[in-house]
Amino acid sequence: MSFLLLVSFWAVSQSAAPAQNSTNDSRTTRTAGVIRAIGIIKPSIEVTGSYLSRVEIWIEPTGTGVGEALVGEAKRATPAGAREKWIFPISSLRGYPHPIMAVNAFAKTYDRKGKKVGRKSVSVG
């Protein structure tokens, strides 16, 4: 199971890398959406980033043939801008307070235009 998490984490971090585009001017770059980190800071899942309009929290439940499941949306806890913090209460997870059986938990983030910015998994360890 550790191998699955490691492979999943590696694949996600590769897809979350920002695209390099030489035609972007510095103004566009400064306001481009970015996801920086996701972690569990009890009693919540916290996501940090910049210039985001929506942060979805997803899990990959254990079991054969079970796909990814959207569990909810985080709420911005700081003003919009370069240093945003988004919060999703762990108590909002289905089945809480019982253990949640999942091989991965991650955030999908979107910019002000609704374009997907990236995906980042909760770090293992």
How much is the mean pLDDT over the chain? 79
| 2-25 confidence digits (pLDDT tens) | 333 333 333 333 344 444 444 444
CATH of segment(s) 2-17+32-121: 2.60.40
* Residue 81 confidence (pLDDT) above 80: yes
Q: CB burial class (10 A; 0-12, 13-18, 19+) of residue 19?
A: exposed
What mean pLDDT is predicted for residues 72-96? 93
For the chain, the structural domain boundaries read 2-17+32-121
> Which distant-in-sequence residues (6+ apart) come within 8 Å of 55 by Cβ?
35, 47, 49, 73, 74, 76, 86, 88, 107, 108, 109, 110
Q: Distance between CA 119 and CA 36 in Å, rounded? A: 10
What mean pLDDT is predicted for residues 78-106? 90
Of 8-22, 40-54, 62-76, 77-91, the range with the lowest mean pLDDT is 8-22
